[in-house]
């Protein structure tokens, strides 16, 4: 069975995109998924595998961050591939995309640690939601420790993760913080943002940290002499949805 990939040097995050393996035996569906991935900011489809065995070889060779996996394929199917990946403890996140909707299959994939389960047919926006949710989860897990709202962010599925704010955050204040970053030509500290919108530094910092987790802000550490470095934030433009 074939594995079709694109060559390219891998560099450390955050400079490189998240790499995605598509596991799908239908060429038309695989091409659709590839185009959706490549159109999503921060993601790049690097290979297509048409059964579980070739998918496993692709994971070993390419070490993708994420796989979009169909469950029903001739030969070695998606569930067999997923069991093998988990048995061998390969560092791979998985989004299942399948027509299978029986509860036993859903339960087993959840036990195997998939981060989302999409039932075909679905709108392309639903897969984009799932990719964004993966990005949010990955950014949150880079932190050495997580607050409860960040744990909630990691646990929720793509359908719910991007629709609700962590407890205690208000959309009006979040919008004010975001607009402050967007309108600034320089990096801002939490104290500076707080003064501009009329909230305490610790409050502004919480909103800035949330924006950083969801990829709407980037943080840089400023070291000026002895003492703890100060975090300064800048706006990260988001891809427009069609």
Over residues 159-167, the mean pLDDT reads 64
Position 161 scores a pLDDT of 57
Instruction: Looking at mean pLDDT, say which of 170-179, 192-201, 218-227 comes out highest.
Output: 192-201
Q: Between the CA of residue 44 and those of 8, 33, 198, what are the distances in Å?
A: 11, 11, 40
**Statement to judge: residues 59 and 170 lie in one domain:** no
- Percent over 90 (pLDDT), the chain: 38
Domain count of the chain? 2
Judge whether 188 and 235 are in contact, CB under 8 Å: no
Angstrom distance (rounded) from CA 54 to CA 71:
14
Q: What is the pTM of this model?
A: 0.65
CATH number at residue 33: 3.40.50.2300
pLDDT surpassing 80 at residue 87: yes
> How many CB atoms lie under 10 A from the CB of residue 9?
5
Position 151 scores a pLDDT of 74
Residue 242 covered by a domain:
no
Judge whether 59 and 21 are in contact, CB under 8 Å: yes
Over residues 4-10, the mean pLDDT reads 41
Residue 146 covered by a domain:
no
Residue 127 covered by a domain:
yes
Q: What does the mean pLDDT of the chain come to?
A: 82
Over residues 50-77, the mean pLDDT reads 92
Task: Supply the range of the domain harboring residue 12.
Answer: 3-141
Please provide residue 90's backbone torsions phi and psi, each rounded to the nearest 5 degrees. Answer: -75, 140
Over residues 118-133, the mean pLDDT reads 84
**Statement to judge: residues 30 and 71 lie in one domain:** yes
Over residues 228-234, the mean pLDDT reads 84
> What are the pLDDT digits (tens) for 34-62?
999 998 888 999 999 999 999 999 999 99
């Amino acid at each position: 069975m074939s594995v079709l990939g694109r060559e390219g040097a891998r560099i450390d995050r955050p400079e490189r995109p998240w790499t995605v393996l598509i596991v799908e035996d239908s060429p038309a569906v695989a091409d659709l998924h590839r185009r959706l991935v490549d159109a999503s900011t921060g993601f790049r489809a690097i290979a297509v595998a048409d059964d579980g065995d070739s998918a496993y070889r692709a994971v070993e060779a390419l070490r993708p961050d994420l796989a979009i996996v169909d469950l029903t394929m001739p030969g070695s199917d998606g569930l067999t591939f997923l069991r093998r990946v988990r048995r061998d403890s390969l560092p791979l996140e998985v989004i299942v995309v399948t027509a299978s909707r029986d509860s036993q299959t859903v339960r087993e994939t959840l036990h195997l640690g998939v981060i989302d389960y999409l039932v075909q047919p679905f709108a392309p926006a639903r897969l984009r939601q799932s990719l964004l949710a993966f990005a949010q989860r990955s950014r949150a897990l880079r932190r050495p420790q997580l607050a409860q709202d960040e744990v909630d962010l990691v646990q929720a599925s793509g359908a719910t993760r991007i629709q609700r704010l962590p407890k205690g955050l208000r959309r009006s204040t979040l919008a004010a913080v975001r607009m402050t970053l967007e309108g600034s030509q320089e990096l801002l500290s939490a104290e500076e943002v707080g003064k501009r919108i009329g909230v305490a530094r610790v409050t502004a910092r919480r909103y800035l940290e949330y924006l950083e987790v969801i990829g709407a802000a980037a943080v840089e550490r400023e070291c000026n002499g002895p003492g703890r470095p100060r975090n300064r934030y800048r706006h990260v433009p988001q891809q427009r949805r069609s």
